[in-house]
């Protein structure tokens, strides 16, 4: 390729004697050897002088329009002459500088032939600069026309009955949420068992490894971190033998798993208060206060509990018993710091599971004293109907263990012909439960199980919750009565021949020697 540029004067310093000996070929190769500017210009003009033809007028106009553009060489025919502007003169050959577009074309990488006298320079049409897609004309066949998007349609405001909307967006009020609330229900068919099944399939040497204590501790923390995230960790202690943990026969949980035939929580009849902030136990409009009073029989005889509103004090400790407990529920407008929300926040005291000499595994208080009325835990497990619980009870009696607890509180209205509460549901903590399943019996108990209602309107399905009924000293064993209060006639227990009917080992001064009636 060659480049056409403006005429320049080239001066070569050569001794006079050497210049006389230069031939014509040497002059062509050097480009110019005149000792003066005038001689050099005349020689260059003589070399590039070409005859003017009318047939090349269009090419001359194109050359003038292109100016100093890049030219490619093509072999000249006998009828074509070199086309060049009379104002241009050759300069030294310059390296070919490709444009960004030409660098990726096939012509750029084609081999360039050496220029000879048979090759002539032909101008190449200039490639227009690349345009952005936004500036492409709509007449282009290779591009889509650019259209301005139309304005979005205006969505009319929703007009639901009694609903509010802001800027066309439906507002979800607390009343709307309460109408759609559905509590999460856990069913017996979904009860996890993979962990203890896998551990029980291992060898006895593996199960007796002391590191298994860490596995159980981790399971307890993981399975309850949603229910009681701030509860102190439970320690597992054994100073009696080398058994690292209680038997791996249950899934540790605070949840209630509904068995077949047990209805879901009754939410349709559940009422929530409209209090803002914290509930006032003296309020005359709080629905939870009214529900609590409705479950206290004989208001004249139990006037203190009836007029106190809630059964908790300002420290969230139970101050009146043995009445059923009604807590604020998920439909209430009060906040989480309401004094009537205790059980739903979970355990707050430290406890440990320890091996005893005569009673197997038991539950003990931590290093701090537990005041009376403190919530200890919920008796969780499988909620069964009466038919299923009767079948399991026969097996447990022969096996020598039982974790069945009948929901037969005095305030449940389902009475039989004798006026006793007809058992409809039973809680079983054998396959699922928490540390409360290890609570041993005592004829002088320091805790008690009460019925509690939170997100349940069915009076026959209360939660079983454990509260301290007196101060529990540090490291003291936590026990409750398997018989229950008011069951003074225990003579029937001596006639039972099941393995579960063992002699009481509580060691209390008033021990009756029996655990079940």
- How far is 278 from 318, CA to CA, in rounded Å? 18
> Does position 345 have pLDDT exceeding 60, yes or no?
yes
CA proximity to 255, closest of 344, 364, 387, 180: 344
* Residues 252 and 224: beta-carbon distance below 8 Å: yes
> Does position 463 have pLDDT exceeding 70, yes or no?
yes
CA proximity to 86, closest of 49, 123, 47: 49
Rounded to 5 degrees, φ, ψ at 212 are -65, -20
The share of the chain scoring above pLDDT 90, in percent, equals 49
Return all residues near 285 (Cβ < 8 A) that are at least 6 apart.
274
Which among 123, 140, 158 is the end of a domain?
123
How many degrees, rounded to 5, is the angle at CA 83 between CA 81 and CA 84? Answer: 140
Residue 117 shares a structural domain with residue 191: no
Q: Widest CA span of the chain, in angstroms?
A: 149
Residue 30 shares a structural domain with residue 109: yes
371-to-318, 325, 479 alpha-carbon distances in Å: 10, 19, 15
- How far is 468 from 330, CA to CA, in rounded Å? 26
Residue 131 lies in a domain: no
More confident residue, 300 or 111: 300
Return all residues near 47 (Cβ < 8 A) that are at least 6 apart.
28
Residue 323 shares a structural domain with residue 464: yes
Q: Would you give the distance in Å from CA 331 to the centre of its chain? A: 25
- How far is 53 from 50, CA to CA, in rounded Å? 9
* Residues 44 and 89: beta-carbon distance below 8 Å: yes
Structural domain containing residue 104: 4-123
- How far is 370 from 446, CA to CA, in rounded Å? 10
Structural domain total, the chain: 2
The pair of three-digit structure tokens given for residue 240, joined into one six-digit string: 């009696």
- How far is 314 from 483, CA to CA, in rounded Å? 32
Which among 90, 123, 156 is the end of a domain?
123
> To which residue do tokens 């003589």 refer?
46
Rounded to 5 degrees, φ, ψ at 228 are -140, 75
Residue 401 shares a structural domain with residue 516: yes
| pLDDT (tens digit per residue) in 425-458 | 999 999 999 999 999 999 999 999 999 999 999 9
Q: Tell me the pLDDT band of 153, cut-offs 50, 70 and 90.
A: low
Residue 147 lies in a domain: no
Residue 384 lies in a domain: yes
More confident residue, 350 or 114: 350
Residue 440 lies in a domain: yes
- Please compute the mean of the pLDDT values over residues 195-204 and round it to a whole number: 93
Residue 155 lies in a domain: no
Residue 144 lies in a domain: no
Residue 339 shares a structural domain with residue 439: yes
Rounded to 5 degrees, φ, ψ at 412 are -75, 125
- How far is 217 from 234, CA to CA, in rounded Å? 7
User: In terms of DSSP H, where are the helices of 330-449?
Assistant: 386-399
Residue 200 shares a structural domain with residue 285: yes
| pLDDT (tens digit per residue) in 1-31 | 444 444 445 454 544 544 455 455 554 544 4
Residue 312 shares a structural domain with residue 381: yes
- How far is 185 from 140, CA to CA, in rounded Å? 64
Residue 378 shares a structural domain with residue 470: yes
Mean pLDDT (the chain, rounded):
77
Sequence-ordered strand ranges (E) for 76-175: 89-90, 119-123, 164-166, 169-171
Residue 238 belongs to a domain with what CATH number? 2.170.270.10
Return all residues near 489 (Cβ < 8 A) that are at least 6 apart.
517
The single-letter DSSP state of residue 126 is P
- Please tell me whether residue 174 adopts helix, strand or coil conformation: helix
More confident residue, 251 or 113: 251
- How far is 447 from 372, CA to CA, in rounded Å? 9
- Please compute the mean of the pLDDT values over residues 234-259 and round it to a whole number: 95
Sequence-ordered strand ranges (E) for 225-350: 235-237, 251-252, 256-258, 325-326
Please list the residues that pair with 427 across neighbouring strands.
Answer: 383, 405
Residue 158 lies in a domain: no
Residue 185 shares a structural domain with residue 109: no
Which among 123, 140, 164 is the end of a domain?
123
- How far is 190 from 186, CA to CA, in rounded Å? 7
Residue 8 shares a structural domain with residue 79: yes
Please list the residues that pair with 511 across neighbouring strands.
Answer: none
In DSSP notation, 383-439 reads EEEHHHHHHHHHHHHHHT---EEE---TT---B-TTSPBPP-EEEE-SSEE-GGGGP
- Please tell me whether residue 154 adopts helix, strand or coil conformation: coil
> To which residue do tokens 């084609």 refer?
110
| pLDDT (tens digit per residue) in 301-343 | 888 999 999 999 999 999 998 899 999 999 999 999 999 999 9
- How far is 344 from 227, CA to CA, in rounded Å? 8
* The CA-based dihedral angle spanning residues 219, 221, 226, 230, taken in that order and rounded to the nearest 10 degrees: 170
Residue 399 lies in a domain: yes
- How far is 479 from 506, CA to CA, in rounded Å? 9
Task: Give residue 245's pLDDT.
Answer: 96
More confident residue, 377 or 18: 377
Stretch among 192-196, 470-474, 493-497 having the lowest mean pLDDT: 493-497
CA proximity to 180, closest of 333, 344, 330, 334: 330
| pLDDT (tens digit per residue) in 378-389 | 999 999 999 999
Task: Give residue 3's pLDDT.
Answer: 46
Rounded to 5 degrees, φ, ψ at 195 are -65, -55
- Please compute the mean of the pLDDT values over residues 142-159 and round it to a whole number: 57
Q: Tell me the pLDDT band of 45, cut-offs 50, 70 and 90.
A: low
Residue 275 shares a structural domain with residue 388: yes
Residue 191 shares a structural domain with residue 327: yes
- How far is 52 from 40, CA to CA, in rounded Å? 23
> Does position 84 have pLDDT exceeding 90, yes or no?
no
The per-residue b/e assignment along 7-26, b for 16 or more CB within 10 angstroms, e otherwise, is eeebeeeeeeeeeeeeeeee
């Amino acid at each position: 390729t060659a480049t056409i540029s403006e005429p320049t004067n080239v001066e070569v310093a050569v001794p006079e004697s050497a210049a006389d000996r230069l031939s014509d070929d040497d002059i062509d190769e050097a480009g110019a050897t005149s000792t003066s500017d005038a001689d050099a210009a005349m020689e260059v003009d003589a070399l590039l002088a070409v005859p003017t033809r009318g047939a090349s007028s269009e090419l001359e106009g194109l050359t003038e329009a292109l100016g100093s553009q890049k030219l490619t060489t093509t072999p000249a025919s006998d009828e074509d002459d070199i086309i060049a502007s009379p104002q241009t003169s050759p300069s030294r050959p310059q390296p070919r500088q490709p444009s960004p577009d030409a660098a990726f074309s096939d012509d750029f990488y084609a081999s360039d032939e050496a220029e000879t006298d048979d090759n002539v320079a032909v101008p190449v049409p200039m490639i227009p600069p690349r345009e952005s897609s936004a500036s492409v004309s709509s007449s282009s066949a290779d591009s889509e026309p650019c259209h301005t998007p139309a304005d979005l349609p205006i969505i009319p405001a929703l007009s639901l009955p009694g609903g509010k909307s802001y800027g066309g967006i439906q507002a979800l009020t607390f009343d709307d949420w309460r109408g759609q609330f559905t509590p999460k229900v856990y069913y017996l068919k979904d009860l996890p068992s993979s962990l203890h099944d896998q551990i029980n399939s291992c060898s006895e040497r593996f199960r007796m490894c002391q590191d298994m204590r860490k596995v159980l501790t981790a399971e307890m923390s993981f399975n309850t971190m949603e229910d009681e995230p701030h509860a102190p960790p439970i320690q597992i202690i054994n100073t009696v033998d080398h058994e690292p943990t209680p038997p791996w026969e249950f899934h540790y949980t605070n949840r209630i798993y509904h068995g077949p035939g047990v209805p879901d929580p009754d939410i349709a009849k559940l009422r929530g208060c409209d209090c803002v902030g914290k509930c006032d136990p003296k309020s005359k409009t709080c629905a939870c206060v009214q529900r609590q009073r409705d479950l206290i029989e004989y208001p004249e005889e139990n006037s203190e509990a009836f007029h106190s509103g809630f059964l908790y004090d300002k420290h969230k400790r139970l101050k009146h018993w043995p009445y059923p407990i009604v807590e604020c529920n998920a439909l209430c407008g009060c906040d989480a710091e309401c004094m009537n929300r205790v059980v739903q926040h979970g355990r707050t005291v430290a406890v440990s599971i320890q091996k005893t000499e005569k009673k197997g595994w038991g539950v003990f208080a931590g290093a701090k004293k537990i005041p009376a009325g403190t919530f200890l835990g919920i008796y969780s497990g499988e909620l069964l109907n009466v038919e299923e619980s009767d079948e399991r009870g026969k097996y447990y009696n022969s096996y020598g263990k039982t974790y069945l607890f009948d929901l037969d509180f005095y305030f449940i209205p389902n009475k039989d012909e004798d006026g006793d509460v007809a058992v409809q549901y039973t809680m079983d903590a054998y396959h699922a439960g928490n540390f409360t399943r290890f609570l041993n019996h005592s004829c002088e108990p320091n805790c008690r199980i009460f019925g509690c209602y939170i997100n349940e309107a069915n009076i026959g399905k209360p939660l079983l919750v454990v509260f301290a009924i007196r101060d529990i000293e540090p490291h003291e064993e936590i026990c409750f009565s398997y018989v229950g209060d008011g069951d003074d006639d225990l003579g029937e227990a001596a006639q039972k021949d099941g393995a579960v009917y063992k002699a009481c080992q509580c060691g209390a001064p008033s021990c009756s020697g029996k655990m079940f009636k």
